[in-house]
Structure 1
Amino acid sequence: MRQSVLSFFREISARAWDHAKPQVTSALQRLRRPTWRGVALSVAAIPALVVLYVLILIPFTPGIGDIRKAKIEQPAQIYSADGKLLAEFKPTNRVWVKLSDISPHVVDALISTEDHRFYEHHGIDFKRTAGAALHTFSGDRQGGSTITQQLARNLYPDDIGRAPTLTRKIKEAITAFKIEAIYTKGEILETYLNTVPFLYNAYGIEMAARTYFDKSADDLSVLESATLIGMLKGNSYYNPVINPERALDRRNIVLGQMVKYGRLSQAQFNSLKGKALRVDFERQTEPPGPAPHFAQQLKKWLIAWADAHDYNIYADGLVVRTTIDARLQTMATQALTFQGNQLQSIANAAWNARSACSGHKDVFDAFIRETPEYRSAKDSGMSDGDALKHLSADRGFMKTLCDSKTRVQAAFVAMDPRDGAIKAWVGSRDFAQDPYDHVSQARRQPGSTFKPFVYGAAFEQGAKPDDTFPDQAVEIPLAGGEIWRPSDEDAPSGRPITLRDGLAYSRNRITAQLMESVGPAKVARLARAMGVRDSHLDAVPSLALGTSPVTLKEMVSSYGTIANEGAYVAPMLVTRIEDRKGEVLAEFQPAHADRVMPAASAQTLLDVMRSVVNKGTGSAIRTRFGIRADVAGKTGTTQDNADGWFILMHPQLVAGAWIGFNDSRVTLRSDYWGQGAHSALPIVGDFFQRSLRSRLIDPRVKFAQEPPPGMFDTLRMKLRAWMQYLFTSSSKPETPAPAPRPKPRSAPAPAASAVENASPVAEASAPTDIEPPQIVSPAASQPPILPSPGEASAPAAANSEAPAFASTPAANPASTPASEP
């Protein structure tokens, strides 16, 4: 087939050549004997072809509308619900200034050096272009671009290109003509000086003046103006910070050009040329704004919305109205910063931060092996021991590593449970140092803050707050023959404990028995329905104690479902988008409330969680922060105190905080400060205290009340508890039977690291020894998988909560939530 096609084309080509051969031969003969008419036609054809080529290129140059748009581009502005500017989405680090606010020395230096006939041409200086072409043909390449041509190239690099070709020069010239037809000379100068780059993420003369001389553009002297204009020939080559000698020579050349074209006297030049540069360099960074992590999350969403509706977030002047309350955002930032600084001093002492974390060799050897410096040392031929020894001896390296690893991190988010509106969002202690968002990006084990899902699932199935389980050793068989033995800080007492007290005091053994009764699958399903919709949940018994990593945003959203009487409302960031004239482009309503839990069950769960702050692990909300409003919440602490959590619910606001380190192998090394009741709770308590005092939330508003039990129900529950206590004390049965429950079910075994650490220990209101997890397995134990920095830890035993019971004094009775500093 291929051969027949080739033969066909060869035959067609031969016939075409036979037909055209006489005409070609005649044309070649005329070229050998040219006539005056032929020569004239040939000469005239050249410009005609050039004009034709120019006409062809015109559609491929920026349109007039685009040029006007470049002049008036406005970044999207993000506003809080109370009208405060939160952020501007600028494409570059630039501050636009008017020509009248730029030193005249800058304009004189620019025109003298780059385009001394600027006011005489209309976009192209043909005399200069011809001279540059002659020099280029002779081997001395020179540029002939005018300021207008340079502006065209700076504004539209993608449309015009930067390749040294004739096509690029023609497209540049066409665009320059268009600019001259639309802009005045003053507008061209203003636009050029505000768009030209100056290194170090400084765009425009204003940011250049601040970066290199710590002043505004209107205050630049002759020498400073000449230095900055001199950089335009080659920013890096004439960088006054790195190459001061070259920059000085170039500055003096600019001064000489100013003398040549009458903008500087010879006497002034003689007195100035010997002076030093006197650069006052400081990198300019855009202010992060009051809610930088929120703004970054919003930016991702807004880009997608703008693309779908044909808008540009950098140029179209969009105005975005958000749900953030700037007052609450300020309170949240202040509370988080204060507590973060307090905990940082504790971490510094625990890790010997002043001595570059000396005394923690085993841990920091592992950290060193993860650094680029270690990999470089190994690549150079060093052994593992030599590389560790070499880097450990480098005090600067170790100090940097120690500071980065032991920097306490924190996150906070608050939302209105009624409509899902996010009211405050703080993603880390310092956005400049750690832009990683610990609200919506970081997944960490939630510890005991996950327990309400277990109790909620039980209440859905008819359990009551006064139902009891005996406080006894628990053994739950897992797949593969392993046994999970969750524990608390104190030994089993054998006494019956109500579900209310089990959650209030964060008893692990009680929660584990309840999980066995309800079933992990139902708990995982309820958690997903209530708001944990992005993170994966392993439906295993240890899930009851928070072994599956989740985000703080998911947990606060889930607690919002509890506060909203079992109706889930998706978190909401934006209420309205307007154009630059204030006309509404889009309005957004709260998501539809999805009933995921019966209202009665949600009210029961919330009432039980009131006990957490009234008498349990979160009682510091009452005793330390003096909050008397109707609130409910839960503390959480993970294995080895790696993560501290606290979430508090009010009818108008739900807020949660997380405390930890980017690397979960680093902890506060304190059984007291590492607990959520002492690390994360103060952030939420401080925030609520401020917001209640300022009346941003109403302290008089109450949750809907569940009808109290009747007299008969009360007597029945007390009698059942007394009978169970009586028989349990005498016989101490192996498994409790307070209510009909299915037999312990065999669940799929979690990952090795999860099984080994799946036995949580108690979070105490006083420092206590932590009982290690107990898993009986026929297989050999393997070390847990350690996460990389910034990632959540593997599903291990997440909870280390269980303060002493009200009827069982703590090991250290002097240390209670009420006595917290």
Structure 2
Amino acid sequence: MIVKLSPQDTRRYNWYIWRFVIAGFSFVVIMFLLTAFGIFGELPSFRDLENPKSNLASEVISSDKQLLGTYFIQNRSNVTYKEISPNVINALVATEDSRFYEHSGIDFNRTFSIIFYNLIGKKQGGSTITQQLALNLFSERAHNPLKRIVQKMQEWITAVKIERHYTKEEIITMYLNTVDFGAYNVYGIKSAAITYFNTTPEQLTPDQAALLVGMVNGPGIYSPINHPENALNRRNLVLRRMQEMGYLSDGQVDEFKQKPLGLQFKKINHNEGSAPYFRAVLKKEIQKLFVDKNITKADGTPYDLDRDGLKIYTTLDATMQRYAEEAQKEYMRGLQAQFNAQWKGKSLWKKIPSFKQLLDQGMYRTDRYKSLKLQGKTDEEIQQDFNTPVKMNLFTWKGDIDTVMKPIDSIVYCKLLLRNALMSMDPTTGYVKAWVGGTNFEHFKYDQVKMGTRQVGSTAKPFTYAVAIENGYSPCMEIPNEPVTITGYGEPWTPGSSPEGTLPGTITLRKAMAYSQNYVTAYVMNEVKPLPVMELIKKMGITSPDIGPYPAICLGTFNASVYDMTGAYSAFANHGLWTEPTYLLRIEDKNGNVLYEHHTNIRQALNEQTAYVMTYMLKGVVEDGTGSRVRYKYKLNNPIGGKTGTTQNNSDGWFIGVTPQLVTGVWTGCEDRAIHFNSTKVGGGANSALPVFALYMQKVYANKALGIKQNVDFDPPKSGVNIQINCGAYSEQQQGTNEVDEKLEF
């Protein structure tokens, strides 16, 4: 039955409908006004839009503009618009917001069509790229429907603000710098390009760009690692959208669809990148620097290296760093085999009286022990746990291995692993070029370049000889190589010397240092006295607290770091000027404002003539002394000085190599000094440390682009050299002096 409405009824019903529409429209307007005034929550201010609150990784940058690594909570690094491939931008616009360049933050045409699709059961998202950016930057998606409605209005208003204050290029760049690319802590297109394809954003091909952009809508479900089939289908959909928008031809799309995903996936963590030991030390020092110098943000809050996107410029050379890491790995694998052969079939418990104590100390330092203690476990329960086999990952020089082992046995295994550290620096500028603080940062976090100190052995001898040279002694002076007893400093001190390593008869100071002779070194110490030697050691930047005015410092009984020792030797190559080893140049905030700039400390430690004569002495070590394998085995025949060092029981092996442009210190030993090589032939610095230096220098010299020249010798002082270094002429002078003395006596 059809009811015919009167004109009055029609007008009345029309009025109801219009009232409903007006009321609904008014409600929406009021809701938007309330949202705009922050009644439902504060909206980002213009200042917030200029400085969006995102967790941005801080970058550590080498002197040759390479990224050494990052500090992050979220692995996110920004790029500029010019650093993004057009393929990425085209894929994003085609897939997420085809009218991006036409709307002002909200695409009403798309919004109403999306409402229609959702009503008929075809669920689709209606957010523009700008709205998605607003969500990424300033809030997290709400799960409550009512809260989500309010949040959506906030996004709309924020999107309009963003469009008013930023260009389209800036918006798309910010979006690509903040978007989530998967469950591996990967944020931003730069991190995504590196993680999934080991490339940069500007080098992404259309199919690679399509894969990454395809992940934006569902980084979990479209993950190429966990769901490769979904990722492939999604990539092909994005390629088709790019074709529909005219960014790709039909033929190109067909070609790209046939390609596999082509992943070069590498999960990024804090251990990834170059120089991990260096970066760990650097982070702690920067944090301390900010506190000491009261460097804060404009609002007075402290900087956060993991969130504030700082740019940290360092002196390290990425290529030289790689060469140093390669040299260590190349040599230490074989040296470990030599070490293992010496201990094969021998009981640590019998050979090392203190081994039980070392093992307990090692156990107490483990995270496993600390965790069990926090759980309230008794000592007996902890011992039982450490004697129960478990799955674990172990470091070997051939690569990590998964195995089943008792935790206590893994401690024994690690105690028998050799450690090695290297630092290389420019002696003129003080700039550190390479820093290898240990053998594997993932397994052994302790830095042995600066944080660790070990007994330096014979690498301390040049300091005593330098004091003698400073007092007019010639390297050609001949001394009987026989035992010396020094008195006047507590108990009389007579250093020993191995019979097979002791040269007979009378030898020159240069030869004594070249062959690391203890007796002659002690003789020189007795002549120059301990106090001046101690003062010189400290003047050359060695900060060890156990350096005192006692005779034994001439043989290196004190502890020092690779950092300090390498810095000290740089004074020999730099005309007597000690230049503080420098590795941090400046720190900038994410906007390029300089927060800190380093100024290197320099002081005159030796006079220029003494430094030059000492380079002549150090070259003797390499030419025909304990460091001669640099020449005969590694064929480095250019001007190189150096000094080997071996401590008691072969616990530490050292070599510090000196050239006009690079000074490099290397140390090798076990975690505990009680575990060591059984012979000096294998465990001495000439075999345990020198080869790492030589392999590193071979690589450096082979790369001419680094500018480290082989045909450069140490510059003599402009004022000339008064100390005789020509031993033939010196002998004639001495003979003439003796004849004069005899006549005077007569």
What TM-score bracket applies, with the shorter chain setting the length? 0.5 to 0.7
Could you tell me how far apart the structure 1 residues matched to 2:128 and 2:317 are? Answer: 50
Matches within 5 A, 1:246-325: 284-285=267-268
Residue in structure 1 matching 2:162, options 170, 179, 189? 179
Equivalent residue number for residue 472 of structure 1: 483
Structure 1 residues 239 and 469 mapped into 2: Cα distance closer, same or farther (>3 Å)? farther
Partner of 2:735: 715
1:619 aligns with 2:644: no
Q: Distance in 2 between matches of 1:104 and 1:417?
A: 50
The Cα shift of 1:686 comes to: 3.2
Equivalent in the alignment of 1:671: 680
Quote the residue 2:183 is aligned against: 199
Which of 565, 574, 579 is equivalent to 1:569?
Answer: 579
For residue 682 of structure 1, report the CA deviation from its aligned partner.
1.5
Seen in structure 2, the aligned counterparts of structure 1 residues 409 and 217 have a Cα distance that, compared at 3 Å, is farther
Change (3 A) 1:512 1:189: same
CA apart distance, 1:449: 0.5
Partners of 1:223 and 1:453 in 2: how far apart? 62
Amino acid in structure 2 at the alignment position of 1:284: K
Q: Is the 8 A contact 2:88 2:209 kept in 1?
A: no
AA aligned to 2:183 is L
The residue number in structure 1 matching 2:653 is 644
Amino acid at match of 1:515: M
Tell me the SS of whatever aligns to 1:625: coil
Kept after mapping to 2: 8 A contact 1:649/1:655: yes
Asked if structure 2 preserves the Cα contact closer than 8 Å seen for 1:241 and 1:281, the reply is: no
Matched, 1:701 2:713: yes
User: 1:637-692 deviations in whole A, cap 9, x for unaligned?
Assistant: 12332221111223333222222234544434443221101111122233445555
CA distance in 2: counterparts of 1:503 and 1:98, whole angstroms: 58
Q: Is contact 1:94–1:204 with CA below 8 Å preserved after alignment? A: yes
Identity level (%): 29
1:152: which partner in 2? 134
Offset, 1:55: 12
Rounded Cα–Cα distance in structure 2 between residues aligned with 1:280 and 1:60: 41
Match of 1:340, SS state, is helix
Query: Aligned runs of 1:487-566 on 2, under 5 Å?
Result: 487-490=496-499, 499-533=509-543, 537-566=547-576
Quote how far apart the aligned CAs of 1:544 are.
2.5
Q: Hey, what's the Cα distance between the residues in 2 that align with 1:343 and 1:675?
A: 12
The 5 Å alignment of 1:421-460 reads 421-430=431-440, 436-460=446-470
Letter in 1 for 2:641: A
Between the aligned partners of 1:719 and 1:325, the Cα distance in structure 2 is: 57
- Superposition map of 1:288-437 within 5 A: 328-350=320-342, 362=356, 364=359, 367-374=362-369, 379-381=376-378, 382=380, 386=384, 389-390=387-388, 396-398=404-406, 400-401=410-411, 404-430=414-440, 436-437=446-447
Following superposition of structure 1 onto structure 2, how do residues 718-729 of structure 1 map, counting pairs within 5 Å? none
Q: Distance in 1 between matches of 2:698 and 2:31?
A: 82
Deviation at 1:174, TM superposition (A): 5.0
1:603 to 1:638, Cα distance in 2 relative to 1, 3 A:
same
SS in 2 for 1:457: helix
* One-letter code aligned to 1:714: Q
Contact 1:93–1:285 at 8 Å: present in 2 too? no
The separation in 2 between residues aligned to 1:418 and 1:144, in whole angstroms, is: 61
CA contact (8 A) 2:639 2:710 kept: no
One-letter amino acid of the counterpart of residue 499, structure 2: D
Cα-to-partner distance string for 1:213-271 (whole Å, 9 max, x where unaligned): 9998965899998887446xxx7xx8989999xx99xx99xx9xxxxxxxxxxxxxxxx
Amino acid at match of 2:577: A
Superposition deviation, residue 524 in structure 1 = 2.2
2:663 is paired with a residue whose SS is strand
Structure 2 vs 1, CA of residues 517 and 300 (structure 1 numbering), >3 Å: closer, same or farther? same
1:633 CA displacement: 1.8
AA paired with 2:638? A
Which SS does the other structure have where 1:630 is aligned?
A: coil
Change (3 A) 1:118 1:623: closer
Q: Distance in 2 between matches of 1:74 and 1:391?
A: 39
The answer for the alignment partner of 2:664 in structure 1 is 655
Distance 2:131 2:51 in 1: 16
- Secondary structure of residue in 2 paired with 1:537: coil
Shift of 1:452: 1.3
Aligned residue type for 1:335 = A
SS of 2:186's partner is coil
Question: Aligned pair in 2 of structure 1 residues 411, 692: CA closer, same or farther (>3 Å)?
Answer: same
**What SS does the aligned partner of 1:411 have?**
strand
Offset, 1:191 = 4.5
Structure 1 residue 374: deviation in Å? Answer: 4.5
Cα 1:107–1:348, aligned 2, differ >3 Å: closer, same or farther?
farther
TM-score, scaled to structure 1: 0.58
What SS does the corresponding residue of 1:673 show, helix, strand or coil?
helix
Q: Could you tell me whether the CA contact under 8 Å between 1:109 and 1:229 is conserved in 2?
A: no
CA distance in 1, matches of 2:550, 2:32: 81
List per-residue Cα deviations over 1:326-363 (Å, max 9, x = no partner). 6655544443332222213223444569x999999846
Change (3 A) 1:357 1:223: farther
Deviations 1:256-291 (A, max 9, x none): xxxxxxxxxxxxxxxxxxxxxx99996522795565
Query: Given the superposition, is the C-alpha separation of residues 494 and 700 from structure 1 closer, same or farther in structure 2, using an over 3 Å criterion?
Result: closer
For residues 425-470 of structure 1, what are the alpha-carbon distances to aligned partners after superposition, in whole Å with 9 as ceiling and x for unaligned? 4444455655654333332222111121122223334444426366
For 1:224 and 1:629, locate their aligned partners in 2 and report how far apart those are by CA, in whole Å. Answer: 51
Deviation of the 1:580 alpha carbon: 12
State the distance in 2 between where 1:391 and 1:589 align: 50
Corresponding residue of 2:255: none
- Offset of 1:376 from its aligned partner? 5.8
Contact (CA 8 Å) 1:441, 1:551: kept in 2 or not? yes
Residues 421, 199 of structure 1: alpha-carbon distance in 2 compared, 3 angstrom cutoff: same
Task: Mark the CA change 1:230 to 1:351 in structure 2 (over 3 Å): closer, same or farther.
Answer: farther
Distance 1:207 1:415 in 2: 31
Between the aligned partners of 2:186 and 2:421, the Cα distance in structure 1 is 31
Distance 1:580 1:50 in 2: 31
User: Which residue number in structure 2 is paired with residue 134 of structure 1?
Assistant: none
- The one-letter code sitting in structure 2 at the alignment partner of 1:625 is Y
- Contact 1:653–1:697 (8 Å) recurs in 2: no
SS in 2 for 1:608: helix
Q: Which residue of 1 aligns with 2:400?
A: none
Between 1:670-679 and 1:145-154, the stretch displaced more is 145-154
CA contact (8 A) 1:569 1:590 kept: no
Over the residues paired in the alignment, what is the CA RMSD in angstroms?
Answer: 6.3
Q: Is the 8 A contact 2:650 2:683 kept in 1?
A: yes
Q: Given that residues 58 and 309 in structure 2 are in contact (C-alpha distance below 8 angstroms), is that contact kept between their aligned partners in structure 1?
A: yes
Does residue 63 of structure 2 align to residue 85 of structure 1? no
Q: Is the 8 A contact 1:124 1:149 kept in 2?
A: no
Query: Match of 1:608?
Result: 617
Structure 1, unpaired ranges of 5+: 1-43, 129-142, 256-277, 723-821
Question: 1:457 and 1:389 mapped to 2: Cα distance?
Answer: 55
How many aligned positions are there? 628
Greater radius of gyration (CA): 1
CA distance in 2, matches of 1:223, 1:323: 37
